[in-house]
A and B are shown apart, each in its own frame.
Chain A
Amino acid sequence: MPMDSIEVNRIAHLARISVPEEEAQRTALQLESILQLVESLRAVPTEGVETMAHPLDLQQPLREDTVCPEEGREWLMASAPAAAEGLFLVPRVIE
């Protein structure tokens, strides 16, 4: 699948990372080689093989529905860049 810098910019936007213009072309080539690898994997016959969702051959343990003691929001919020009145503050998101 051929990649161009437009496609790279779209993916970068979806992932909220910035890819400088001078790196876009190189990134496109790198992504393309990854996709080529996926294409060759696709050629492997997998008919009848159950989808593997996890590399470990284990199943999900379940937890009893019992409330744990409160952790205290002060220390949990201590590393937040901005907080007030018990709320995390972020740039305004309303449209």
Chain B
Amino acid sequence: MEWEVVIGLEVHVQLNTATKIFCGCSTTFGAEPNTQTCPVCLAMPGALPVLNAAAVNKAIALGLALGSEINRRSIFARKNYFYPDLPKGYQISQYELPVVGAGHLDIVLPDGTEKRIGVTRAHLEEDAGKSLHESFDSQSGIDLNRAGTPLLEIVSEPDMRSATEAVAYLKKLHALVRYLDISDGNMQEGSFRCDANISLRRPGHPYGTRAEIKNLNSFRFLEKSILFEISRQKDILENGGQIIQETRLFDSVRSETRSMRSKEEANDYRYFPDPDLLPLVLEQSRIEAVQAQLPELPDAKKNRFMEQYGLPAYDAGVLTSGRPLAEYYETVAEGMDSKLAANWIMGELLGALNRTGLEVENCPVPAMQMRLLLSRIEDQTISGKIAKEIFEALFLESGEVDAIIEARGLRQITDTGAIVSLIEEIVSRHPQQVADYRSGKEKLFGFFVGQVMKESQGKASPDQVNSLLKQKLQGE
């Protein structure tokens, strides 16, 4: 009998505010340890937190984008646990009344169908500091620069049924926070990380006991940890065992999850309302101001790309997967054949970026150069094949399209006389093939095209070579 996997994700998004959530310390990544701290985030006695308006606005922006209820009144609570990187002995979070209530995110499955994933809630909280274990014998070093950085924790419903769906949800959410400019989404630096709750059940039965995999900071790790968890839980269940509800860590070197036994006992956070913070009451005017500032969101942009540029859903989905890529496309496609632009960006550009591990934001070929390159195909200055060569040069050495065409002598040969003389040269060099072609071996035509193109170093206009060659071979 089949097992059905049930997955819910908790995503921690570091908000890209200039200051921490409850004090005026900078949130810049990579500063000298403990230089971005003050009595509030160090938990000095008597220091009081004051909430950052930008963090609240960014939470509202996400709520609006997810079609969520925005709670007009929300409460901050203390989540109590002891760890050296948490100086107060509690984390300020939201428990019973979060700022963002129920909403949803629609994902596209590999077969092209859409699926709606429920989002239970999103709440504001503060990040902890960092522990460093390497440099000191029998001691750990604590850096509290990150302590108090604003986080938005986004909790999904257990609506995902495969690793693929979970990855699609996480990617969509990642794109969304970057569209909204509420987080830099940098997964290596921990600005966007995820916990996965995974359980198995027989289809139609109640949910099984779940395991929680903590701190996944890449899409690949999420996928691998789910696949591992499915097989681990399946083995246990099929051998008559029971799943223990526990927290597990993903070991990326071994591609497996491991139990964090020692943390179990402490899972009693004794939440209670934080008396240092008053209820957060949101005025309609604040919500409307955030709404007015929202950019065009991915789904709306995708629909517009299909309508305005006549692109298929797949192309529109790829090109709007991130805001910088969508902007790049719109610059290139302006006044150009929009499908040609889409093909080049999805093929050559994304291919080259993939190979070199670069992002669109630091692409060595500016959008204006890409547009110029395509316009040189359209006005027949160069062929598509030569354009690929120029693109390589632009990507690897940078430069300017027209200058490269001139410097390398790549201008397409469209002069009929020049092409005819090339053809005559080739025909006279291959009398045997000419005779064979004329006696019926028509597939030799390709051989002649190839020879002529080679002789012209790829510069002859392929259309003209085709028609002139046909005339020549058939004519005599």
Interface residues of A, Cβ cutoff 8 Å to B: 14, 16, 51, 53-54, 56, 58-68, 70-71, 73, 76-77, 82, 84-95
Q: Is the CB of A88 within 8 A of B96?
A: no
Q: Does B139 contact A (CB under 8 A)?
A: yes
**Neighbour of B141 across the interface among A56, A60, A67, A84, CB < 8 A:** A84
Q: Does B33 contact A (CB under 8 A)?
A: yes
B375-414 with Cβ < 8 A to chain A: none
Query: Which A residues are CB-close (under 8 A) to B18?
Result: 65-67
Q: Is the CB of B131 within 8 A of A93?
A: yes
CA distance A51 to B80 in the complex (A): 21
- Contacts A60-B281, A93-B83 known; A68 to B37 CB distance under 8 Å? no
Q: Does B366 contact A (CB under 8 A)?
A: no
B242 to chain A, nearest CB (A): 24
Query: Which B residues are CB-close (under 8 A) to A82?
Result: 139
CB closest residue in chain B, given A13: B265
- Contacts A85-B135, A86-B32 known; A63 to B53 CB distance under 8 Å? yes
Q: Is the CB of B37 within 8 A of A73?
A: yes
Q: How many residues on B have C-beta within 8 angstroms of the other chain's C-beta atoms?
A: 55
B88-146 with Cβ < 8 A to chain A: 96-97, 131-133, 135-136, 138-144
Query: Which B residues are CB-close (under 8 A) to A90?
Result: 84, 139-140, 142
CA distance A64 to B54 in the complex (A): 7
Q: Does B211 contact A (CB under 8 A)?
A: no
Among A56, A58, A85, A94, the one with the most B-chain Cβ atoms within 10 Å of its Cβ is A85
**Neighbour of B278 across the interface among A60, A76, A89, CB < 8 A:** A60
B285-330 with Cβ < 8 A to chain A: none
Q: Is the CB of A77 within 8 A of B34?
A: yes
Main secondary structure of the interface of A (DSSP, over half): loop
Q: Is the CB of B19 within 8 A of A68?
A: yes
Q: Is the CB of A87 within 8 A of B33?
A: yes
Query: Which B residues are CB-close (under 8 A) to A95?
Result: 260, 262
26 inter-chain pairs at a CB distance below 8 angstroms, sorted by A residue, are A53-B97, A60-B51, A62-B50, A62-B52, A63-B51, A65-B19, A65-B55, A66-B19, A67-B18, A67-B24, A68-B24, A73-B37, A76-B42, A82-B139, A84-B136, A85-B141, A86-B35, A87-B132, A88-B141, A88-B144, A89-B142, A90-B84, A92-B136, A94-B133, A94-B140, A95-B262
CA distance A31 to B141 in the complex (A): 37
**Neighbour of A89 across the interface among B17, B139, B260, B280, CB < 8 A:** B139
Query: Which A residues are CB-close (under 8 A) to B39?
Result: 71, 76
B128-184 with Cβ < 8 A to chain A: 131-133, 135-136, 138-144
Q: Does B268 contact A (CB under 8 A)?
A: yes
- Contacts A77-B34, A87-B33 known; A14 to B141 CB distance under 8 Å? no
Q: Is the CB of A65 within 8 A of B52?
A: yes
Q: Does B75 contact A (CB under 8 A)?
A: yes
Q: Which 4 A-B pairs have the closest CB atoms?
A: A68-B24, A87-B141, A65-B54, A62-B53
CB closest residue in chain B, given A89: B139
